Amino acid sequence: MSSQSTADAYVGDSAAASGPLGAGPTGPVQKTEKANHRWWVLGVIALAQLMVVLDATIVNIALPTAQQALGFSDGNRQWIVTAYALAFGSLLLLGGRLADLFGRKIVFLVGVVGFAGASALAGAAQNFEVLVTGRALQGMFGALLAPAALSLLNTTFTDAKERAKAFGIFGAIAGAGGGIGLLLGGVLTEHLSWRWTLYVNLIIAVVAFIGGMAFLRKGAPADRPKLDVPGTVMVVAGLFGLVYGFSNAETHHWGSPMTWGFLAAGGALIGAFAWWQTRASHPLLPLRVLLDRDRGASFIMLAISGAGMFGVFLFLTYFLQASLHYTPVKTGLAFLPMIGALMVSAQLATNYLMPRFGPRPIVPLGMAMAGAGMAWLTVLDLDSTYAAHVLPQLLVIGLGIGLALPPAMSVATAGIAADDAGVASAAVNTMQQVGGSIGTALLNTLAASAATSYMTSHKGAGAAAQAQLHSYSTAYWWSAALFALGSVLAALMYRSGRPSQGDTTVQAVHM
């Protein structure tokens, strides 16, 4: 990686260092100081990323209470979630390129402050319109914050062993954040107010902002290219069309122009964007970022895992609360073992398995385990107990996602030139967010159709409850199918072999 094209490329590292950290005249004392500095940077980045990831799920548990308080309809309820996903997913590539153009520290800090302000606005909302506006603004500033955070991580940790540890921690947070959001959302809603699921971001943002000011280095690129305005317009509009179209599938039929029309327009614009990137003098997303075989495989894995993970977070949450009558707090606690398993396997994968075997055997295994856990969830019924019928599946899913997600994130950003670090990091977040948005809409639509079909063919007192179970089971099967597809594609697409021991990144995987 080049450290000359951007002054903040190696946060916490010396631009003048001629070799590995500590080599040359700096000596061992400065080596320790700089190493410690980098881990503080990781703490700041991880905290900010946690804030963004939390907001994908923390509001879900608070939605019934917020709906009752503000009096909006069931038809409008989805927009509290979708407004965030729309703004976040469609603006991420722009946010990543802005981080490359203007410096990652300033974009990171603007994102943190803006996210906090949007959270305060949404938390204080007295009507549906203000709440949706606040959520959309959260997504917009999150689109600045998330790629800047990941690109800072990518350019800060260049030593292979340190990079593995850092991405293990970061990947575990990315994977576990949704579950933590469910738990925290339940605690805050039950013991304080639904508004605190939004206000809590102010506390996190203050700590992240102070840490960012203290530990992130200033700087902007010395050679600042122009922004690709046509490409930006095409990709933002295209991603908006895809996310909006799939979101409409939940409330409109697939045959509705509001669904297929936006999907078709979004697909056409994304195609036009890809064509334009081969001709633009300063492309928003250089195709060299996507066309590397291992990196392309990782982007696909991140999209599939984002879509499949909603099967466990969304539908198992409904099962625990509606079918087993868990409280919001108890529902959140139920996910903690999965988070623990995910964090353990994430560290195992990035620190021990990846350096020895490379991604090809590890990511497919993780995707297959997650798929098996999803399929196992289909046995749940009204007589199921947590310890015997829910916990084992959650542990298998957590272990699988921990094996797949952090290595895929590391490979997706390894070996990226400093000039492209922000936009490559944005592409990682875009794949996860768009995958999650598509997964939510697709699984919701399939589950709703399954429940309707069941009610049509079954009558009786318990038909409604059984229809819900059938809808959840349908979602689990489709999630399992997505992970199974990911396992096959990962086995076929990743190169064999372990990362090069001589490289400073986890990039070089050879045939």
pLDDT, averaged in runs of 10, over the chain (511 residues) = 33 32 38 58 78 74 77 69 77 78 82 91 88 90 81 71 73 67 78 85 87 70 70 84 76 80 90 86 76 83 83 76 80 83 86 82 92 91 87 92 86 73 72 76 78 79 80 89 92 74 33 27
Q: What is the pLDDT of residue 225?
A: 62
- The reported pTM is 0.73
Please tell me the total number of residues recorded for the chain in this structure.
Answer: 511
Looking at the DSSP bridge assignments, the partners of residue 499 are 509
Q: What is the pLDDT of residue 31?
A: 42
Q: What is the pLDDT of residue 385?
A: 87
Q: What is the pLDDT of residue 167?
A: 72
Sign of the Cα torsion 129, 130, 133, 138 reads negative
Domain spans, the chain: 31-227+284-493
Q: What is the pLDDT of residue 493?
A: 85
- 317, 182 in Cβ contact below 8 A? yes
Residue 470 corresponds to which amino acid?
Answer: H
* Tokens representing residue 115 in the block: 């996210």
| Residue 457, C-beta contacts closer than 8 angstroms, at least 6 positions apart | none
- 119, 199 in Cβ contact below 8 A? yes
Single out the residue of 370, 259, 366 nearest to residue 311, CA to CA.
370
**CB neighbours of residue 231 within 10 Å:** 23
C-alpha span between 509 and 499 (Å, rounded): 5
Residue 238 backbone phi and psi in degrees, to 5: -65, -45
Q: What is the pLDDT of residue 16?
A: 31
Distance of CA 453 to the CA centre of its chain: 33
C-alpha span between 8 and 100 (Å, rounded): 10
Helix (H) / strand (E) element for 181: namely helix 160-191
**Domain 31-227+284-493 adopts which CATH fold?**
Growth Hormone; Chain: A; (1.20.1250)
Q: What is the pLDDT of residue 427?
A: 76
DSSP, collapsed to helix, strand or coil, labels residue 501 as coil
Q: What is the pLDDT of residue 175?
A: 61
Looking at the DSSP bridge assignments, the partners of residue 221 are 6
Distance of CA 315 to the CA centre of its chain: 18
| Residue 292, C-beta contacts closer than 8 angstroms, at least 6 positions apart | 415
